[in-house]
Amino acid sequence: MAKASYFDMVYDVVRCVPHGRVTTYGTIASFLSLGSARMVGWALNNCHDMGDVPAHRVVNRKGELSGRAHFRPPSRMQELLELEGIKVENDAIVGFEALLWNPADHF
């Protein structure tokens, strides 16, 4: 069986994010009460092998699509968000605070 690495927990939380919602690195890190926001971003960097992780729903504290450069093509991230009804402007989510999803709220 797979070992429950920190990455797996991050992936699991991100998968739980409902459509039309977004979350931040710090929120995930805080929910896991382990590691720091950098760990979340680093975990998503490894998500290349997963493919099941909607990383486009994870943004930084400013609601900016900080990780879009890691998508192929980079514009894919914004496109995916708009498909879920999320408006993105200047590489930042419009009203992202209202769309911010708290993982603890799902439990």
Alpha-carbon span 59 to 67, nearest angstrom: 7
Q: Dihedrals φ, ψ of 45, to 5°?
A: -65, -30
- 49 and 8 Cβ atoms separated by less than 8 Å: no
- In the chain the beta strands, taken as DSSP E runs, fall at 23-24, 58-59, 88-89, 92-93
Interaction of residue 45 with DNA, rule CB under 7 A? yes
Binding to DNA by CB under 7 A, coded x per residue (else -) over 46-75, reads -xx------x--x-xxx---xx-xxx----
Interaction of residue 37 with DNA, rule CB under 7 A? yes
Instruction: Give the nearest distance from C-beta 66 to DNA in angstroms.
Output: 3
Instruction: Give the nearest distance from C-beta 107 to DNA in angstroms.
Output: 21
Size of interface with DNA, in residues (CB under 7 A):
30
